[in-house]
Amino acid sequence: MDPQKLKDNFALVAANGVDVAEYFYADLFAREPQLRSMFPAGMSRQYDLLLGALGRIVATVDDHDRLVPFLRDLGRQHHGFGVLADHYAPVGASLLATLAYFSGPDWTDDLEHDWAAAYGLVTKVMTGAAAELVS
Ligand code: HEM
């Protein structure tokens, strides 16, 4: 994984502001309509929170001492929201689709591979922390 490439790509995508979060949730709810009811009716706060968290994850993707505690907290919170391990795959698919859409011609197989690896790490740490709450 090339952390700098992920950071540069996220900066390019995030320059589109709230449109990124809007696209992401539209894609997710088209993919998995049953997930819509897990979220509040008004999504604007959620848009900001998602973009903020993604920015923080990308900024610390090569600093696991900071990233892992953040993701463990986020995983425990998500357990409280009723999020299950199976929910992470569609969210990852929507995330990659969103990044590809806003990257346009800059999207490459390498970026797709690196983002998938980063999301795999996020999923592992978040679901691991959530699983400890029920074991
Ligand atoms: C990269 C992975 C993810 C990130 C960065 C992320 C980020 C966030 C953040 C920052 C919040 C707000 C927490 C707060 O209120 O302080 C949140 C809430 C939430 N997330 Fe995620 N999330 C991720 C994965 C998922 C997955 C896989 C699901 C499954 C459907 C999910 C569903 C939710 C729900 C239901 C809420 C609560 C909405 C509410 O009631 O306000 N998230 N997420």
CA-proximal residue: ligand 1, atom 42 (nearest): 78
CA-proximal residue: ligand 1, atom 14 (nearest): 49
Q: What pLDDT shows up at residue 78?
A: 97
Atom nearest to 35 CA in ligand 1: 30
Q: What pLDDT shows up at residue 134?
A: 85
The helix or strand, by DSSP H or E, that contains position 129, with its residue range, turns out to be helix 109-134
| Class of domain 3-134 as given by CATH | mainly alpha
- pLDDT, mean of residues 98-102: 98
What are the domain boundaries of the chain? Answer: 3-134
Distance 73 CA to ligand 1 centre (A): 11
Distance 21 CA to ligand 1 centre (A): 12
CA Rg value for the chain: 14
Contact 115, 76 (CB under 8 A): no
HEC sequence for 37-96: HHCCCCCHHHHHHHHHHHHHHHHCCCCHHHHHHHHHHHHHHHHHCCCCHHHHHHHHHHHH
Determine if ligand 1 sits within 6 Å of the CB of residue 49. Answer: yes
What percent of the chain shows pLDDT beyond 90? Answer: 97
Q: What is the pLDDT of residues 40-84, one digit of tens each?
A: 999 999 999 999 999 999 999 999 999 999 999 999 999 999 999
Distant-in-sequence contacts of 33-41, Cβ < 8 A, 24+ apart: 35/87, 35/90, 38/81, 38/82, 38/83
CA-proximal residue: ligand 1, atom 8 (nearest): 50
- pLDDT, mean of residues 97-102: 98
Determine if ligand 1 sits within 6 Å of the CB of residue 96. Answer: no
Confidence label for 1 from pLDDT (cuts 50, 70 and 90): confident
**91: how many CB neighbours lie within 10 A of its CB?**
19
